[in-house]
Amino acid sequence: MGLKVYLDGRFVEKNEAVVSVFDHGLLYGDGVFEGIRSYNGLVFKLEEHLGRLFESARTLMLEIPLSKKELEKTVLETLKVNALKDAYIRLVVTRGIGDLGLDPRKCLKATLFIIADKITLYPKEYYEKGLVLATVPTVRNHPEALNPQLKTLNYLNNILAKIEATNAGVNEAILLNAQGYVTECTGENIFFVKGKSVWTPPPYVGILKGITREAVMGLAEASGLAVREDVFTRHELYTADEVFLTGTAAEIVPVVKIDNRLIGTGRPGPVTLKLMKAFKKLTLKEGTR
């Protein structure tokens, strides 16, 4: 059976899932999206993902054509139609078809599509041996230019940083903000461990408030660690006991080297490994079916 995509009210074959070249999501990156995971048929943190989608759309003054309840039902139906239990779900809402001008009022109806498929962001060995990161020249978007809390279709800031990471021969890029503070990576939030504390940047420095980030913060607190949301520089990363990344696609992945500096022992640390196990258990018992 071929992959079926939900597109504006109906399921179509993958090769028939097309949008107009006049869609402002394509022309201008005018739209919002969410990446969501399902584990054994349970959709992880679906309510939180839909909440963030609607918040992003509200700031963009983009009207989503379905309610949260309708979207929840449609996401589950997309999994069922494709007979998927463990999947990555991409939910996208664009401004819709307009003219060649910028004016969003010329787009009369949003385009909505949902793709459910498999995803492997990193090979298994990276979870066992850890990632190598580098700080890149591209600065994170200023919150009053294009707020990183908005999960929009305009991902050029992230893509430019990813290109720089690739050119540097490393797995991922760390973006700093204009003040020199650590923000996040191109597709993941960043944490470091120091003693009994776990640190991660606060939203106001310029990060996406990750759904996995929030879940991991809860798991860390439940395990007796102190969780701190505070600004920090690369120095704190270089001298940390452990560093790890979190994201919907990546889940939790260890970091062992940053800017040619070994982190801790140069191997995935005990706190990271403990959180990875706890997160896996969480995904198998929490979710929407």
Give the model confidence (pLDDT) of 66-117 as tens digits: 999 999 999 999 999 999 999 999 999 999 999 999 999 999 999 999 999 9
Let me know whether 32 and 107 are in one domain. Answer: yes
Neighbours of 190 (CB within 10 A): 26
The CATH number of whichever domain residue 238 belongs to comes to 3.20.10.10
Domain boundary among 62, 85, 117: 117
Let me know whether 214 and 247 are in one domain. Answer: yes
Number of domains present in the structure of the chain: 2
Let me know whether 268 and 187 are in one domain. Answer: yes
Let me know whether 10 and 110 are in one domain. Answer: yes
The model's pLDDT over 12-37, given as tens digits with 9 standing for 90+, comes to: 999 999 999 999 999 999 999 999 99
Helices and strands, counts by H and E, the chain: 8, 15
Let me know whether 138 and 274 are in one domain. Answer: yes
Question: Around 278, how many Cα atoms within 13 Å sit in the side-chain half-sphere?
Answer: 16
Find all residues with CB under 8 Å of 23, minimum gap 6, and list them.
Answer: 94, 95, 96, 97, 98, 111
The model's pLDDT over 189-235, given as tens digits with 9 standing for 90+, comes to: 999 999 999 999 999 999 999 999 999 999 999 999 999 999 999 99
Confidence of residue 289 (pLDDT cuts 50, 70, 90): confident
Let me know whether 169 and 186 are in one domain. Answer: yes
Let me know whether 229 and 257 are in one domain. Answer: yes
Q: Is 59 helix (H, G, I), strand (E, B) or coil?
A: helix
How far is C-alpha 46 from the geometric centre of its chain's CA atoms? 14
The CATH number of whichever domain residue 46 belongs to comes to 3.30.470.10
Confidence of residue 9 (pLDDT cuts 50, 70, 90): very high
Let me know whether 42 and 179 are in one domain. Answer: no
Residue 80 is among the residues annotated as catalytic for this protein: no
Domain boundary among 95, 117, 139: 117
Let me know whether 186 and 261 are in one domain. Answer: yes
Domain boundary among 96, 117, 138: 117
Let me know whether 235 and 276 are in one domain. Answer: yes
The one catalytic residue in 68, 151, 277, 280 is 151
pTM reported for the whole predicted model: 0.96
Let me know whether 36 and 152 are in one domain. Answer: no
Structural domain for 241, as ranges = 124-285
Let me know whether 35 and 9 are in one domain. Answer: yes
